[in-house]
């Protein structure tokens, strides 16, 4: 948990007050509800345990996973509900 808040979840630190009540997909131009958390890190910039997150809808999960995967950044793909319930989740912002 390196950064506060999960954008799109009102009331959490790091969440803009005008953000939607439901987390949205991180794909450019997509406003669909997020279903997946893509946990990643850039080993040139981040320590090995650091996890950045993107959110994905069903339609964009594979595309975003491939984008991160070909760069060697993708570490894990987890359902959003499971991520929020886990010790690793509920604290890292998407799109950061």
Backbone angles phi, psi at 58, to 5 degrees: -60, -40
Average pLDDT along the chain: 80
Buried b (16+ CB within 10 A) or exposed e, 66-80: ebbeeeebbbebbeb
In the prediction, which pLDDT does 21 show? 80
pTM, to two decimals:
0.70
Task: Give percent of the chain with pLDDT exceeding 90.
Answer: 59
Q: How confident is the model at residue 31 (pLDDT cuts 50, 70, 90)?
A: very high
């Amino acid at each position: 948990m390196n950064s506060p808040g999960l954008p799109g979840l009102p009331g959490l630190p790091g969440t803009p007050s005008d953000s939607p009540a439901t987390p949205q997909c991180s794909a450019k131009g997509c406003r669909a509800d997020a279903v997946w958390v893509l946990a990643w890190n850039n080993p040139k910039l981040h320590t090995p345990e650091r996890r950045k997150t993107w959110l994905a809808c069903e339609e964009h999960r594979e595309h975003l996973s491939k984008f991160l995967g070909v760069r060697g950044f993708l570490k894990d793909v987890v359902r959003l509900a499971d991520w929020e319930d886990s010790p690793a989740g509920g604290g890292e912002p998407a799109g950061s």
